Amino acid sequence: MLPLSIESHFLDALPVDPSDDPRPRQVWRACASRVSPHSAAAPRLLAYSPSCAALLGLESHTSTAAFLDTFSGNQLHPDMQPYAMAYGGHQFGHWAGQLGDGRAIALGEVRGLDTQRYTLQLKGAGPTPYSRHADGFAVLRSSIREFLCSEAMHYLGVPSTRVLSLIATGNEVVRDQFYDGNPRPEPGAVVCRVSPSFLRFGHFELPASRQDPDTLRELVRYALQRDYPDIDSEDLPQACAEMFRQVCERTATLMVHWMRVGFVHGVMNTDNLSLIGETIDYGPYGWLEETDREWTPNTTDSGGRYSFGRQSQVALWNLSRLAGALLPIIGNEAPLYEALEHYEQRYSAQYQSMMADKLGLSTPDEAFAEQTWLLMEAQRADMTLFFRTLSAPLAQITPAALAATCYGEPQQEAFESWWQQYRLLADGDAGRSERMRHTNPSFVLKNYLVQQAIEEAEQGEMGRFAALHEAMRHPYDEPASAWVLEKRPAWASTPGCSQLSCSS
Ligand code: AMP
Ligand code: MG
Protein backbone atom coordinates (compact mmCIF):
# COMPACT_ATOMS: atom_id res chain seq x y z
CA MET A 1 0.00 0.00 0.00
CA LEU A 2 1.25 3.50 -0.76
CA PRO A 3 2.21 5.61 2.27
CA LEU A 4 -0.54 8.16 1.73
CA SER A 5 -2.69 9.74 4.37
CA ILE A 6 -5.91 10.43 2.51
CA GLU A 7 -8.69 12.84 3.39
CA SER A 8 -11.98 13.33 1.61
CA HIS A 9 -12.65 16.86 2.70
CA PHE A 10 -14.54 17.79 -0.46
CA LEU A 11 -17.06 14.99 0.13
CA ASP A 12 -17.24 15.68 3.85
CA ALA A 13 -17.79 19.41 3.52
CA LEU A 14 -20.13 19.66 0.53
CA PRO A 15 -23.45 18.18 -0.55
CA VAL A 16 -22.95 14.86 -2.33
CA ASP A 17 -25.25 13.38 -4.96
CA PRO A 18 -27.39 10.71 -3.20
CA SER A 19 -27.54 8.57 -6.35
CA ASP A 20 -24.71 6.30 -7.46
CA ASP A 21 -26.17 5.82 -10.94
CA PRO A 22 -23.11 6.18 -13.20
CA ARG A 23 -25.14 7.09 -16.29
CA PRO A 24 -25.00 10.64 -17.69
CA ARG A 25 -27.65 12.79 -16.03
CA GLN A 26 -28.37 16.13 -14.40
CA VAL A 27 -27.21 16.24 -10.80
CA TRP A 28 -29.08 18.74 -8.64
CA ARG A 29 -28.14 20.40 -5.35
CA ALA A 30 -24.86 18.51 -5.08
CA CYS A 31 -21.21 19.28 -5.75
CA ALA A 32 -20.00 15.74 -6.34
CA SER A 33 -21.06 12.22 -7.27
CA ARG A 34 -19.39 9.07 -6.04
CA VAL A 35 -17.94 7.07 -8.94
CA SER A 36 -15.58 4.17 -9.59
CA PRO A 37 -12.65 4.29 -11.98
CA HIS A 38 -12.76 1.85 -14.89
CA SER A 39 -10.13 -0.86 -14.78
CA ALA A 40 -7.10 -0.85 -17.05
CA ALA A 41 -6.56 -4.10 -18.98
CA ALA A 42 -2.75 -3.94 -19.03
CA PRO A 43 -1.47 -0.86 -17.21
CA ARG A 44 2.08 0.29 -17.94
CA LEU A 45 3.83 3.22 -16.28
CA LEU A 46 5.14 5.37 -19.12
CA ALA A 47 6.39 8.30 -17.07
CA TYR A 48 6.21 10.06 -13.77
CA SER A 49 7.27 13.44 -12.52
CA PRO A 50 10.16 12.95 -10.10
CA SER A 51 9.58 16.30 -8.40
CA CYS A 52 5.83 15.75 -8.02
CA ALA A 53 6.44 12.23 -6.67
CA ALA A 54 8.95 13.69 -4.20
CA LEU A 55 6.46 16.38 -3.17
CA LEU A 56 3.97 13.64 -2.26
CA GLY A 57 6.59 11.45 -0.56
CA LEU A 58 6.23 8.79 -3.27
CA GLU A 59 9.63 8.91 -4.96
CA SER A 60 10.70 5.48 -3.76
CA HIS A 61 7.33 3.93 -4.71
CA THR A 62 7.00 4.80 -8.39
CA SER A 63 8.05 1.36 -9.59
CA THR A 64 5.78 -0.57 -7.20
CA ALA A 65 2.66 -2.49 -8.13
CA ALA A 66 0.71 -0.33 -5.66
CA PHE A 67 1.68 2.83 -7.56
CA LEU A 68 0.63 1.33 -10.89
CA ASP A 69 -2.61 -0.08 -9.47
CA THR A 70 -3.57 3.14 -7.72
CA PHE A 71 -2.83 5.60 -10.49
CA SER A 72 -4.26 3.45 -13.28
CA GLY A 73 -7.46 3.27 -11.23
CA ASN A 74 -7.24 -0.53 -11.01
CA GLN A 75 -7.03 -0.88 -7.27
CA LEU A 76 -7.34 2.16 -5.11
CA HIS A 77 -5.86 2.78 -1.72
CA PRO A 78 -8.50 1.61 0.80
CA ASP A 79 -9.02 5.16 2.11
CA MET A 80 -9.74 6.63 -1.30
CA GLN A 81 -13.35 7.59 -2.01
CA PRO A 82 -13.40 8.47 -5.70
CA TYR A 83 -15.74 11.21 -6.89
CA ALA A 84 -16.52 13.42 -9.88
CA MET A 85 -17.40 17.10 -9.39
CA ALA A 86 -20.34 19.04 -10.76
CA TYR A 87 -19.72 22.32 -12.55
CA GLY A 88 -21.13 24.29 -15.44
CA GLY A 89 -19.61 26.73 -17.85
CA HIS A 90 -19.78 29.21 -20.67
CA GLN A 91 -18.32 27.61 -23.77
CA PHE A 92 -17.30 29.94 -26.61
CA GLY A 93 -19.42 32.68 -25.06
CA HIS A 94 -22.59 30.62 -24.55
CA TRP A 95 -23.99 29.16 -21.37
CA ALA A 96 -23.65 25.36 -21.69
CA GLY A 97 -25.41 24.25 -18.50
CA GLN A 98 -24.09 21.35 -16.47
CA LEU A 99 -20.68 20.04 -17.58
CA GLY A 100 -18.68 18.55 -14.70
CA ASP A 101 -15.87 16.03 -14.44
CA GLY A 102 -16.77 13.95 -17.47
CA ARG A 103 -13.37 12.28 -17.71
CA ALA A 104 -11.79 13.13 -14.39
CA ILE A 105 -12.12 11.28 -11.11
CA ALA A 106 -10.74 12.69 -7.88
CA LEU A 107 -9.25 10.18 -5.44
CA GLY A 108 -8.99 12.37 -2.36
CA GLU A 109 -6.62 14.82 -0.78
CA VAL A 110 -3.14 14.28 0.58
CA ARG A 111 -0.57 16.53 2.22
CA GLY A 112 2.57 17.43 0.33
CA LEU A 113 5.95 17.71 1.97
CA ASP A 114 5.46 21.48 1.67
CA THR A 115 2.45 21.04 4.07
CA GLN A 116 0.02 22.13 1.33
CA ARG A 117 -3.00 19.86 0.72
CA TYR A 118 -3.26 18.43 -2.79
CA THR A 119 -6.11 16.70 -4.53
CA LEU A 120 -5.17 13.70 -6.67
CA GLN A 121 -7.26 13.28 -9.79
CA LEU A 122 -7.22 10.66 -12.53
CA LYS A 123 -7.94 11.98 -16.01
CA GLY A 124 -9.27 9.42 -18.46
CA ALA A 125 -10.39 6.75 -15.96
CA GLY A 126 -13.86 6.28 -17.38
CA PRO A 127 -17.39 7.62 -17.40
CA THR A 128 -19.13 9.60 -14.69
CA PRO A 129 -22.63 11.13 -14.48
CA TYR A 130 -21.01 14.20 -16.13
CA SER A 131 -19.72 12.43 -19.23
CA ARG A 132 -22.67 13.60 -21.35
CA HIS A 133 -22.27 11.99 -24.82
CA ALA A 134 -18.65 11.02 -24.37
CA ASP A 135 -16.92 7.97 -22.90
CA GLY A 136 -14.83 9.36 -20.04
CA PHE A 137 -11.58 8.02 -21.46
CA ALA A 138 -8.46 9.72 -22.77
CA VAL A 139 -6.17 8.68 -25.59
CA LEU A 140 -2.42 8.36 -25.26
CA ARG A 141 -1.68 11.39 -27.46
CA SER A 142 -3.77 13.79 -25.38
CA SER A 143 -2.41 12.34 -22.15
CA ILE A 144 1.16 12.83 -23.37
CA ARG A 145 0.28 16.41 -24.27
CA GLU A 146 -1.18 17.04 -20.82
CA PHE A 147 1.75 15.40 -19.05
CA LEU A 148 4.53 17.19 -20.92
CA CYS A 149 2.87 20.58 -20.91
CA SER A 150 2.13 20.47 -17.19
CA GLU A 151 5.79 19.74 -16.54
CA ALA A 152 6.91 22.39 -19.04
CA MET A 153 4.73 25.05 -17.38
CA HIS A 154 5.91 24.14 -13.91
CA TYR A 155 9.55 24.53 -14.83
CA LEU A 156 8.88 27.73 -16.75
CA GLY A 157 7.52 29.13 -13.50
CA VAL A 158 3.93 29.37 -14.80
CA PRO A 159 1.21 28.35 -12.29
CA SER A 160 -0.24 25.05 -13.43
CA THR A 161 -1.89 21.89 -12.24
CA ARG A 162 0.81 19.26 -11.90
CA VAL A 163 1.10 15.67 -13.04
CA LEU A 164 2.27 12.71 -11.05
CA SER A 165 2.04 9.87 -13.55
CA LEU A 166 1.27 8.85 -17.11
CA ILE A 167 0.01 5.28 -17.45
CA ALA A 168 -0.96 3.44 -20.63
CA THR A 169 -4.11 1.49 -19.79
CA GLY A 170 -3.91 -1.22 -22.42
CA ASN A 171 -7.53 -0.33 -23.31
CA GLU A 172 -8.52 0.87 -26.76
CA VAL A 173 -10.34 4.17 -27.11
CA VAL A 174 -12.14 5.08 -30.33
CA ARG A 175 -11.64 8.66 -31.58
CA ASP A 176 -12.35 10.60 -34.75
CA GLN A 177 -9.20 12.69 -34.41
CA PHE A 178 -9.80 15.05 -37.35
CA TYR A 179 -13.62 15.08 -37.12
CA ASP A 180 -13.68 13.71 -40.69
CA GLY A 181 -15.87 10.67 -40.15
CA ASN A 182 -12.94 8.29 -39.68
CA PRO A 183 -13.01 7.07 -36.10
CA ARG A 184 -10.26 4.61 -35.21
CA PRO A 185 -9.16 2.78 -32.08
CA GLU A 186 -6.26 4.40 -30.28
CA PRO A 187 -4.28 3.44 -27.18
CA GLY A 188 -5.83 4.75 -23.97
CA ALA A 189 -4.01 6.35 -21.05
CA VAL A 190 -4.60 7.88 -17.64
CA VAL A 191 -2.80 10.85 -16.15
CA CYS A 192 -2.84 11.56 -12.43
CA ARG A 193 -3.16 15.31 -11.99
CA VAL A 194 -2.29 17.05 -8.76
CA SER A 195 -3.42 20.46 -7.56
CA PRO A 196 -4.31 22.28 -4.34
CA SER A 197 -7.71 22.89 -5.98
CA PHE A 198 -9.61 21.75 -9.02
CA LEU A 199 -12.33 24.37 -8.52
CA ARG A 200 -13.18 26.23 -11.70
CA PHE A 201 -15.21 29.40 -12.33
CA GLY A 202 -17.93 27.08 -13.61
CA HIS A 203 -18.31 25.45 -10.20
CA PHE A 204 -19.97 28.64 -8.97
CA GLU A 205 -21.88 29.31 -12.17
CA LEU A 206 -23.79 26.03 -11.96
CA PRO A 207 -25.64 26.54 -8.64
CA ALA A 208 -26.03 30.26 -9.45
CA SER A 209 -27.71 29.39 -12.77
CA ARG A 210 -30.08 27.06 -10.95
CA GLN A 211 -31.04 29.64 -8.32
CA ASP A 212 -29.66 27.29 -5.70
CA PRO A 213 -28.20 29.71 -3.13
CA ASP A 214 -27.62 27.02 -0.52
CA THR A 215 -25.23 24.98 -2.65
CA LEU A 216 -23.59 28.18 -3.89
CA ARG A 217 -23.04 29.41 -0.33
CA GLU A 218 -21.55 26.10 0.77
CA LEU A 219 -19.20 26.11 -2.17
CA VAL A 220 -18.07 29.66 -1.40
CA ARG A 221 -17.47 28.73 2.24
CA TYR A 222 -15.48 25.70 1.14
CA ALA A 223 -13.38 27.70 -1.32
CA LEU A 224 -12.62 30.32 1.32
CA GLN A 225 -11.61 27.75 3.85
CA ARG A 226 -9.51 25.62 1.54
CA ASP A 227 -8.22 27.86 -1.22
CA TYR A 228 -8.17 31.30 0.41
CA PRO A 229 -7.58 30.51 4.09
CA ASP A 230 -5.94 33.89 4.75
CA ILE A 231 -9.24 35.72 4.19
CA ASP A 232 -11.24 36.24 7.35
CA SER A 233 -14.53 34.51 6.50
CA GLU A 234 -16.54 35.81 9.44
CA ASP A 235 -18.58 38.15 7.20
CA LEU A 236 -19.38 35.93 4.19
CA PRO A 237 -20.35 38.66 1.66
CA GLN A 238 -17.22 40.64 2.44
CA ALA A 239 -15.01 37.55 2.40
CA CYS A 240 -16.48 36.46 -0.92
CA ALA A 241 -15.81 39.88 -2.44
CA GLU A 242 -12.22 39.71 -1.22
CA MET A 243 -11.84 36.21 -2.64
CA PHE A 244 -13.08 37.46 -6.01
CA ARG A 245 -10.56 40.30 -5.91
CA GLN A 246 -7.78 37.80 -5.27
CA VAL A 247 -9.02 35.52 -8.06
CA CYS A 248 -8.78 38.57 -10.35
CA GLU A 249 -5.21 39.18 -9.23
CA ARG A 250 -4.14 35.59 -9.73
CA THR A 251 -5.80 35.44 -13.12
CA ALA A 252 -4.03 38.64 -14.21
CA THR A 253 -0.70 37.17 -13.15
CA LEU A 254 -1.45 33.95 -15.02
CA MET A 255 -2.34 35.80 -18.23
CA VAL A 256 0.92 37.76 -18.06
CA HIS A 257 2.85 34.50 -17.72
CA TRP A 258 1.11 33.07 -20.76
CA MET A 259 2.02 36.17 -22.77
CA ARG A 260 5.60 35.96 -21.54
CA VAL A 261 6.16 32.39 -22.72
CA GLY A 262 3.94 32.51 -25.82
CA PHE A 263 1.38 30.01 -24.54
CA VAL A 264 -2.11 29.78 -26.04
CA HIS A 265 -4.55 27.75 -23.95
CA GLY A 266 -6.93 27.22 -26.84
CA VAL A 267 -10.19 26.62 -24.91
CA MET A 268 -10.64 29.36 -22.35
CA ASN A 269 -14.19 28.44 -21.46
CA THR A 270 -15.24 29.35 -17.91
CA ASP A 271 -15.08 25.67 -16.95
CA ASN A 272 -11.38 25.73 -17.85
CA LEU A 273 -10.38 28.64 -15.61
CA SER A 274 -9.08 27.77 -12.19
CA LEU A 275 -10.21 29.51 -9.02
CA ILE A 276 -6.61 29.57 -7.79
CA GLY A 277 -5.15 30.95 -11.01
CA GLU A 278 -3.47 27.83 -12.32
CA THR A 279 -3.32 26.73 -15.93
CA ILE A 280 -5.77 23.83 -16.12
CA ASP A 281 -7.06 21.43 -18.79
CA TYR A 282 -4.50 20.99 -21.51
CA GLY A 283 -6.42 20.35 -24.71
CA PRO A 284 -5.65 21.92 -28.08
CA TYR A 285 -3.08 24.30 -26.61
CA GLY A 286 -0.08 25.64 -28.49
CA TRP A 287 2.92 27.92 -28.33
CA LEU A 288 3.58 30.77 -30.68
CA GLU A 289 6.08 29.76 -33.28
CA GLU A 290 5.97 32.52 -35.88
CA THR A 291 4.67 35.56 -34.02
CA ASP A 292 1.01 36.26 -34.70
CA ARG A 293 -1.15 37.54 -31.89
CA GLU A 294 -4.27 36.39 -33.72
CA TRP A 295 -3.10 32.80 -33.82
CA THR A 296 -4.92 30.00 -32.07
CA PRO A 297 -3.89 26.35 -32.19
CA ASN A 298 -7.54 25.27 -31.88
CA THR A 299 -8.95 24.43 -35.32
CA THR A 300 -12.46 24.39 -33.80
CA ASP A 301 -12.17 28.09 -32.88
CA SER A 302 -12.73 29.57 -36.32
CA GLY A 303 -13.38 33.09 -35.00
CA GLY A 304 -10.15 33.16 -33.02
CA ARG A 305 -11.99 33.93 -29.78
CA TYR A 306 -9.21 32.30 -27.78
CA SER A 307 -6.25 33.49 -29.84
CA PHE A 308 -2.98 34.43 -28.14
CA GLY A 309 -3.53 38.18 -28.07
CA ARG A 310 -7.10 37.98 -26.80
CA GLN A 311 -6.41 35.87 -23.74
CA SER A 312 -6.35 38.69 -21.19
CA GLN A 313 -9.64 40.10 -22.49
CA VAL A 314 -11.28 36.69 -22.49
CA ALA A 315 -10.09 36.13 -18.93
CA LEU A 316 -11.80 39.40 -18.02
CA TRP A 317 -15.00 38.23 -19.71
CA ASN A 318 -14.77 34.97 -17.77
CA LEU A 319 -14.15 36.83 -14.52
CA SER A 320 -17.31 38.82 -15.23
CA ARG A 321 -19.25 35.56 -15.48
CA LEU A 322 -17.77 34.49 -12.13
CA ALA A 323 -18.72 37.88 -10.68
CA GLY A 324 -22.30 37.32 -11.83
CA ALA A 325 -22.34 33.92 -10.15
CA LEU A 326 -21.03 35.32 -6.85
CA LEU A 327 -23.39 38.32 -6.82
CA PRO A 328 -26.14 36.51 -4.85
CA ILE A 329 -23.64 35.94 -2.03
CA ILE A 330 -22.15 39.42 -2.08
CA GLY A 331 -25.47 41.22 -2.67
CA ASN A 332 -23.78 44.31 -4.06
CA GLU A 333 -22.25 44.89 -7.49
CA ALA A 334 -19.82 47.63 -6.48
CA PRO A 335 -16.96 45.48 -5.11
CA LEU A 336 -17.25 43.18 -8.12
CA TYR A 337 -16.89 46.05 -10.62
CA GLU A 338 -13.99 47.39 -8.60
CA ALA A 339 -12.26 44.02 -8.67
CA LEU A 340 -12.74 43.77 -12.44
CA GLU A 341 -11.18 47.20 -12.86
CA HIS A 342 -8.40 46.11 -10.56
CA TYR A 343 -7.83 43.13 -12.88
CA GLU A 344 -7.36 45.43 -15.85
CA GLN A 345 -4.93 47.70 -14.02
CA ARG A 346 -3.06 44.80 -12.57
CA TYR A 347 -2.79 43.03 -15.89
CA SER A 348 -1.66 46.12 -17.70
CA ALA A 349 1.01 47.07 -15.14
CA GLN A 350 2.35 43.53 -14.88
CA TYR A 351 2.29 43.07 -18.63
CA GLN A 352 4.31 46.25 -19.22
CA SER A 353 6.84 45.30 -16.61
CA MET A 354 7.09 41.75 -17.99
CA MET A 355 7.72 43.18 -21.48
CA ALA A 356 10.46 45.38 -20.04
CA ASP A 357 12.04 42.24 -18.58
CA LYS A 358 11.74 40.42 -21.89
CA LEU A 359 13.32 43.31 -23.74
CA GLY A 360 15.96 44.07 -21.11
CA LEU A 361 14.76 47.65 -20.55
CA SER A 362 15.12 49.22 -17.14
CA THR A 363 11.68 50.84 -17.37
CA PRO A 364 8.59 49.78 -19.33
CA ASP A 365 8.19 51.38 -22.75
CA GLU A 366 4.73 50.57 -24.02
CA ALA A 367 5.23 52.05 -27.48
CA PHE A 368 8.51 50.25 -28.06
CA ALA A 369 7.10 46.95 -26.81
CA GLU A 370 4.23 47.29 -29.31
CA GLN A 371 6.67 48.18 -32.06
CA THR A 372 8.62 45.02 -31.27
CA TRP A 373 5.50 42.87 -31.56
CA LEU A 374 4.72 44.53 -34.90
CA LEU A 375 8.23 43.83 -36.16
CA MET A 376 8.06 40.19 -35.07
CA GLU A 377 4.64 39.79 -36.69
CA ALA A 378 5.54 41.49 -39.96
CA GLN A 379 8.78 39.52 -40.23
CA ARG A 380 7.32 36.23 -38.94
CA ALA A 381 9.93 35.95 -36.21
CA ASP A 382 9.87 32.91 -33.95
CA MET A 383 8.82 34.50 -30.66
CA THR A 384 10.94 32.30 -28.40
CA LEU A 385 14.06 32.40 -30.56
CA PHE A 386 13.82 36.15 -31.12
CA PHE A 387 13.72 36.99 -27.41
CA ARG A 388 16.36 34.43 -26.53
CA THR A 389 18.69 35.75 -29.23
CA LEU A 390 18.11 39.22 -27.80
CA SER A 391 19.07 37.94 -24.34
CA ALA A 392 22.76 37.60 -25.28
CA PRO A 393 25.21 40.29 -24.11
CA LEU A 394 24.66 43.37 -26.31
CA ALA A 395 28.06 43.14 -27.98
CA GLN A 396 27.26 39.65 -29.24
CA ILE A 397 23.93 40.50 -30.92
CA THR A 398 23.59 41.49 -34.54
CA PRO A 399 20.47 42.49 -36.48
CA ALA A 400 21.27 39.58 -38.80
CA ALA A 401 21.13 37.12 -35.88
CA LEU A 402 17.69 38.47 -34.94
CA ALA A 403 16.55 38.28 -38.57
CA ALA A 404 17.68 34.64 -38.66
CA THR A 405 14.88 33.73 -36.22
CA CYS A 406 12.27 34.41 -38.92
CA TYR A 407 10.19 32.00 -40.95
CA GLY A 408 10.52 32.93 -44.62
CA GLU A 409 12.67 35.74 -46.04
CA PRO A 410 13.21 38.55 -43.51
CA GLN A 411 13.82 42.20 -44.45
CA GLN A 412 17.25 42.91 -42.98
CA GLU A 413 16.60 46.71 -43.00
CA ALA A 414 13.58 46.26 -40.70
CA PHE A 415 15.81 44.58 -38.12
CA GLU A 416 18.58 47.13 -38.57
CA SER A 417 16.32 50.11 -37.91
CA TRP A 418 14.68 48.36 -34.94
CA TRP A 419 18.16 47.57 -33.62
CA GLN A 420 19.28 51.22 -33.85
CA GLN A 421 16.36 52.21 -31.61
CA TYR A 422 16.88 49.30 -29.29
CA ARG A 423 20.56 50.19 -28.70
CA LEU A 424 19.47 53.61 -27.40
CA LEU A 425 16.91 52.13 -24.99
CA ALA A 426 18.54 48.91 -23.84
CA ASP A 427 19.69 48.45 -20.34
CA GLY A 428 23.49 48.51 -20.59
CA ASP A 429 24.19 47.14 -17.16
CA ALA A 430 25.93 43.87 -16.50
CA GLY A 431 22.77 42.19 -15.18
CA ARG A 432 20.79 42.74 -18.40
CA SER A 433 21.52 39.43 -20.07
CA GLU A 434 21.12 37.50 -16.83
CA ARG A 435 17.69 39.03 -16.17
CA MET A 436 16.56 38.38 -19.73
CA ARG A 437 17.69 34.77 -19.58
CA HIS A 438 15.43 34.23 -16.59
CA THR A 439 12.48 35.74 -18.42
CA ASN A 440 13.00 34.41 -21.94
CA PRO A 441 13.16 30.61 -22.15
CA SER A 442 15.62 29.16 -24.64
CA PHE A 443 12.88 26.85 -25.94
CA VAL A 444 9.25 25.93 -25.36
CA LEU A 445 7.16 22.82 -25.98
CA LYS A 446 6.41 23.44 -29.65
CA ASN A 447 3.58 21.28 -30.90
CA TYR A 448 5.68 19.41 -33.45
CA LEU A 449 8.12 18.35 -30.73
CA VAL A 450 5.27 16.77 -28.77
CA GLN A 451 3.85 15.33 -31.96
CA GLN A 452 7.12 13.52 -32.69
CA ALA A 453 7.19 12.16 -29.14
CA ILE A 454 3.58 10.98 -29.55
CA GLU A 455 4.22 9.23 -32.86
CA GLU A 456 7.14 7.34 -31.35
CA ALA A 457 5.21 6.52 -28.16
CA GLU A 458 2.35 5.09 -30.23
CA GLN A 459 4.96 2.68 -31.65
CA GLY A 460 6.09 1.79 -28.12
CA GLU A 461 9.26 3.92 -28.19
CA MET A 462 9.64 6.47 -25.37
CA GLY A 463 13.13 7.85 -26.15
CA ARG A 464 12.06 11.17 -27.61
CA PHE A 465 9.41 11.65 -24.92
CA ALA A 466 12.04 11.09 -22.21
CA ALA A 467 14.47 13.51 -23.87
CA LEU A 468 11.76 16.16 -24.13
CA HIS A 469 10.67 15.59 -20.54
CA GLU A 470 14.27 16.04 -19.41
CA ALA A 471 14.83 19.15 -21.53
CA MET A 472 11.59 20.77 -20.30
CA ARG A 473 12.95 20.71 -16.76
CA HIS A 474 15.59 23.32 -17.64
CA PRO A 475 13.92 25.75 -20.04
CA TYR A 476 16.14 28.71 -19.16
CA ASP A 477 19.41 26.84 -19.71
CA GLU A 478 21.12 25.93 -22.94
CA PRO A 479 19.68 22.45 -23.55
CA ALA A 480 21.74 19.32 -24.03
CA SER A 481 19.27 18.26 -26.75
CA ALA A 482 19.99 21.00 -29.31
CA TRP A 483 17.08 19.86 -31.49
CA VAL A 484 14.57 21.49 -29.11
CA LEU A 485 16.05 24.87 -30.12
CA GLU A 486 15.15 24.65 -33.77
CA LYS A 487 12.58 26.61 -35.68
CA ARG A 488 9.47 24.65 -36.57
CA PRO A 489 10.36 22.67 -39.71
CA ALA A 490 8.27 23.25 -42.85
CA TRP A 491 6.64 19.81 -42.70
CA ALA A 492 5.20 20.63 -39.26
CA SER A 493 2.99 23.58 -40.22
CA THR A 494 -0.02 21.37 -40.97
CA PRO A 495 -2.96 20.64 -38.63
CA GLY A 496 -2.08 17.83 -36.23
CA CYS A 497 1.38 19.32 -35.80
CA SER A 498 0.89 23.01 -35.26
CA GLN A 499 -2.87 23.02 -34.76
CA LEU A 500 -5.31 20.65 -33.11
CA SER A 501 -8.98 20.09 -32.64
CA CYS A 502 -10.86 19.77 -29.36
CA SER A 503 -10.65 15.98 -29.67
CA SER A 504 -6.99 16.29 -28.74
P1 AMP B 1 -12.92 20.37 -22.17
O2 AMP B 1 -13.27 21.23 -23.33
O3 AMP B 1 -11.93 19.28 -22.47
O4 AMP B 1 -12.50 21.17 -20.98
O5 AMP B 1 -14.24 19.55 -21.75
C6 AMP B 1 -15.48 20.15 -21.59
C7 AMP B 1 -16.42 19.18 -20.92
O8 AMP B 1 -16.51 17.97 -21.68
C9 AMP B 1 -16.01 18.76 -19.51
O10 AMP B 1 -17.18 18.58 -18.75
C11 AMP B 1 -15.33 17.45 -19.75
O12 AMP B 1 -15.34 16.62 -18.61
C13 AMP B 1 -16.16 16.86 -20.87
N14 AMP B 1 -15.38 15.90 -21.66
C15 AMP B 1 -14.37 16.15 -22.52
N16 AMP B 1 -13.89 15.01 -23.05
C17 AMP B 1 -14.60 14.00 -22.50
C18 AMP B 1 -14.58 12.57 -22.63
N19 AMP B 1 -13.73 11.93 -23.43
N20 AMP B 1 -15.48 11.88 -21.90
C21 AMP B 1 -16.36 12.49 -21.09
N22 AMP B 1 -16.43 13.82 -20.93
C23 AMP B 1 -15.56 14.57 -21.62
MG1 MG C 1 -12.30 21.23 -19.22
Give pLDDT, residue 74. Answer: 98
Give pLDDT, residue 26. Answer: 98
Cα of 101 vs centre of ligand 1, distance in Å, is 7
Type of residue found at 104 = A
pLDDT along the chain (504 residues), means of 10: 96 98 97 98 98 98 98 97 98 98 98 98 98 97 98 98 98 90 95 98 98 98 98 98 98 99 98 98 97 96 96 98 98 98 98 98 96 98 98 96 96 98 87 95 96 96 97 93 92 76 62
Residue 425 lies in a domain: no
Residue 438 lies in a domain: no
Determine which residue's CA is closest to atom 7 belonging to ligand 1.
99
Structural domain for 210, as ranges: 202-356
Whether the CB of 257 sits within 6 Å of ligand 1 = no
Residue 180 lies in a domain: yes
Whether the CB of 300 sits within 6 Å of ligand 1 = no
> Of the candidates 334, 356, 378, which is a domain's last residue?
356
Q: How far apart are CA 270 and CA 315, in angstroms?
A: 9
Are 343 and 316 contained in the same domain?
yes
Are 147 and 207 contained in the same domain?
no
Phi, psi (degrees; rounded to nearest 5) at 338: -60, -45
Residue 106 lies in a domain: yes
Are 71 and 109 contained in the same domain?
yes
What is this structure's pTM?
Answer: 0.97
Q: Are 294 and 281 in contact (CB under 8 A)?
A: no
Residue 26 lies in a domain: yes
Are 271 and 194 contained in the same domain?
no
Query: For the purposes of burial, counting CB atoms within 10 Å of the CB of 490, is it exposed (0-12), middle (13-18) or buried (19 or more)?
Result: exposed
Determine which residue's CA is closest to atom 6 belonging to ligand 1.
99
Are 82 and 194 contained in the same domain?
yes
Are 170 and 236 contained in the same domain?
no
Residue 468 lies in a domain: no
Other residues' Cβ atoms within 10 Å of the Cβ of residue 367: 7
Cα of 198 vs centre of ligand 2, distance in Å, is 11
Relative to the CA of 135, which ligand 1 atom is closest? 20
Question: Under 8 Å CB-to-CB from 114, ≥6 apart: which residues?
Answer: 55
- How many domains does one find in the chain? 2
Are 160 and 289 contained in the same domain?
no
Q: How far apart are CA 314 and CA 316, in angstroms?
A: 5
Are 185 and 265 contained in the same domain?
no
Q: How far apart are CA 200 and CA 25, in angstroms?
A: 20
Q: How far apart are CA 78 and CA 83, in angstroms?
A: 14
Residue 479 lies in a domain: no
* Nearest ligand atom owner, CA of 285: 1
Cα of 312 vs centre of ligand 1, distance in Å, is 24
How far is CA 256 from each of CA 101, 260, 289, rounded to the nearest angstrom?
28, 6, 18
Residue 488 lies in a domain: no
* Nearest ligand atom owner, CA of 274: 2
Whether the CB of 226 sits within 6 Å of ligand 1 = no
Give pLDDT, residue 503. Answer: 58
SS3 content of the chain, % helix, strand, coil (to 5): 45, 15, 40
Are 227 and 102 contained in the same domain?
no
> Of the candidates 174, 198, 222, which is a domain's last residue?
198
Are 194 and 263 contained in the same domain?
no
Other residues' Cβ atoms within 10 Å of the Cβ of residue 428: 9
Are 217 and 171 contained in the same domain?
no
Are 123 and 68 contained in the same domain?
yes
